[in-house]
Structure 1
């Protein structure tokens, strides 16, 4: 009987180690997408109703398009996972994932110029606990991001006359 318990404990430990390494691999995002996740985490952790420290879990979908002149537009839909650490934790390497709380479902869209997120148009950040997200909300996110991406209102070289 003790051997079965030892074997079961070993299997649980191996599963935990595997899950830990999978979560480390999941955190590897291109820098352009990582900056959007960091923006969402900063906003989320600034909310008074949030007590847990969250970390990036995985991407659901992401897209980007080049607008020209080193300007790109990014959309990223992803999940954040709550941890055992309190919000405000700076080093999340010791934080264990929590399975007793729902994931945070986030979508961000923003414009970047030469690798930096531009303040205008203001980046869109929308995060809610996963069970609360509806299809209408998901459609609203996409609609908002499409408007943000296509109606930037910025001057382009093709629209200039060359006379100042």
Structure 2
């Protein structure tokens, strides 16, 4: 990430001009410019550098358009187009890396969703089986409760089904 001095050199502007542009664009408040190191050199991230380069070159273009009729003076700054292009390329590379990272995260989330869907299907199947078994047990209890005196005296033969404890007596 470039410093104020590096951006000033790349755009052919003075450090004070770049600092003024940082203030005008509000890069410190938006988190694009942060002090770093023991001396507190202001470090600009790729997006902030892109905004600064764009801002500074537009100001130069506007001044050149206003002074088209005048002869070019030797004290006008030279704009290093390659430096500006490199700032944009760096920003594009950062964005590509972010996109790759987000795509990887999406793939992980897709796998998690697939696993959770499978677990949910299994839980729903188990719940349906438990509900069916509960319904059968409830129906059998209701049937036994409605049995007459004779069925109660004979031990509920035929009500409990084959293999029950009552049939073996």
With the length of structure 1 as denominator, give the TM-score of the two structures: 0.26
- Looking at both structures, which has the greater relative contact order when contacts are Cα pairs under 8 Å and sequence separation is at least 6? 2
Higher strand share: 1
* Higher gyration radius (CA): 2
Higher helix share: 2
With the length of structure 2 as denominator, give the TM-score of the two structures: 0.25
